[in-house]
């Protein structure tokens, strides 16, 4: 039996949380939950589905969820469909359907003292929702910022993170997936070889300065603008300005489009000075 479980804000203030999550319905997303794993390996959460949360806590599924997988295997998000789970993890996923939690998608934010997992799902089996997630990650992150801001300013909702469950010493969850077998280091080396072999790089009539080219190479290797700023000893604002100029010169609108266009190109022209 869970002691004082119904004192959890997810139950007491369920209507308020549901109201906060109303914007997600514009994207056909009907489920949201925030999970935080702190540096002491303690689980806490705030959920917009109190019925599923009660079932989840009662069955101790927090020891079988994706936050139990080594976080080094994740990037910034996790697409659940297509992953083969086993044991308690598979049982959790199957039973989630009883609470109309289908096609989950998770955005992951790694901080110094904790890792945040933001779970989204919808109420139907239609897997096309995955395209909605991927095409609107910027909107989902905007929602996360809006949600966190409201929770921070609410003394009542923020109490949710005082309800902690230890996951320390629990056997990590393991599952097989081809994406986890890919070697990120080997990929980066392959990109380096490609770039180094291209002595002259150009996109039509666009010419990049050496600094712009260096930033572009870091972007292709998966570095964030903040990381690039640290590596190059520049401010994040300056790197952001260079990045915007690169996008204008190469006629692209996003980082993903820039990477695809760069990899597909034979070369990029670099200004010598």
In this prediction, residue 267 carries a pLDDT of 47
3-state secondary structure of 111: coil
How far apart CA 185 and CA 41 sit, in angstroms, is 28
Secondary structure in 3-state letters for 63-98: HCCHHHCCHHHCCCEEECCCCECCHHHHHHHHHHHH
β-strand partners of 120? 32, 105
Is 85:175 a contact under the CB 8 Å cutoff? yes
DSSP letters, 208-271, are B-HHHHHHHHHHHTT--HHHHHHHHT--HHHHHHHHHHHHHHHT-SSHHHHHHHHHHSS-B-B-
Quick check: 74 and 35 in contact, CB under 8 A?
A: no
**Amino acid 149: pLDDT:** 94
Instruction: Please say whether the beta carbons of 184 and 250 come within 8 A.
Output: no
Mean pLDDT of 223-243: 91
Taking each continuous run of H as one helix and of E as one strand, the counts in the chain are 12, 6
For residue 105, give both structure tokens.
């998608």
Span 80-139, pLDDT tens digits: 887 778 889 999 999 999 999 999 999 999 998 999 999 999 999 999 999 999 999 999
270: pLDDT strictly greater than 60: no
DSSP category for residue 22: G
- Name the residue with tokens 């806490």: 44
Among the listed residues 210, 211, 205, 203, the one whose alpha carbon sits nearest the alpha carbon of residue 241: 211
pLDDT the model gives residue 199: 36
Instruction: Please give the pLDDT value at position 75.
Output: 77
Q: Are 208 and 252 in contact (CB under 8 A)?
A: no
Instruction: Indicate whether 200 pLDDT > 50.
Output: no
Pick the more confident residue, 229 or 71: 229
pLDDT band at residue 143, thresholds of 50, 70 and 90? very high
Residue 245's pLDDT band (boundaries 50, 70, 90)? confident
For the CA atoms of 211, 213, 214, 216, what is the dihedral angle to 10 degrees? 120
Residue 103: helix, strand or coil by DSSP?
A: strand
User: What H or E segment, with its residue span, contains residue 4?
Assistant: none
Give the pLDDT of residue 175. Answer: 56
Separation between Cα atoms, residue 269 and residue 273, nearest integer Å: 12
Confidence of residue 273 (pLDDT cuts 50, 70, 90): very low
Return the pLDDT at 210: 83
- Tell me the percentage of the chain whose pLDDT exceeds 70: 82
Q: Please report the pLDDT score of residue 202 as a whole number.
A: 42
How far apart are alpha carbons 128 and 79 in whole angstroms? Answer: 12
């Amino acid at each position: 039996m869970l002691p004082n479980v119904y004192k959890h804000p997810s139950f007491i203030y369920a209507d308020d949380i549901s109201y906060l999550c109303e914007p997600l319905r514009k994207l056909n997303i009907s489920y949201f939950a925030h999970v935080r794993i702190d540096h002491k390996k303690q689980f806490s959460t705030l959920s917009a589905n109190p019925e599923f949360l009660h079932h989840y806590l009662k069955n101790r599924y927090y020891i079988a969820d994706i936050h139990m997988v080594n976080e080094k295997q994740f990037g910034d998000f996790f697409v659940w469909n297509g992953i083969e789970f086993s044991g308690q993890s598979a049982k959790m996923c199957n039973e989630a359907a009883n609470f109309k939690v289908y096609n989950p998608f998770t955005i992951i934010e790694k901080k110094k003292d904790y890792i945040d997992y933001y779970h989204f799902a919808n109420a139907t089996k239609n897997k096309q929702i995955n395209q909605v997630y991927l095409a609107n990650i910027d909107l989902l992150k905007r929602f996360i910022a809006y949600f966190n801001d409201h929770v921070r300013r609410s003394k009542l909702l923020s109490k949710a993170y005082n309800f902690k469950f230890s996951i320390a010493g629990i056997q990590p969850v393991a599952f097989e997936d081809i994406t986890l077998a890919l070697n990120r280091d080997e990929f980066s080396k392959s990109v380096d070889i490609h770039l180094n072999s291209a002595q002259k790089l150009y996109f039509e009539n666009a010419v990049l300065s050496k600094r712009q080219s260096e930033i572009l190479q870091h972007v292709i290797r998966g570095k964030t603008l903040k990381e690039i700023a640290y590596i190059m000893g520049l401010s994040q604002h300056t790197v952001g300005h260079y990045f915007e100029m690169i996008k204008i010169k190469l006629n692209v609108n996003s980082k993903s489009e820039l990477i695809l266009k760069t990899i597909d190109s034979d070369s990029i022209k670099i200004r010598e000075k």
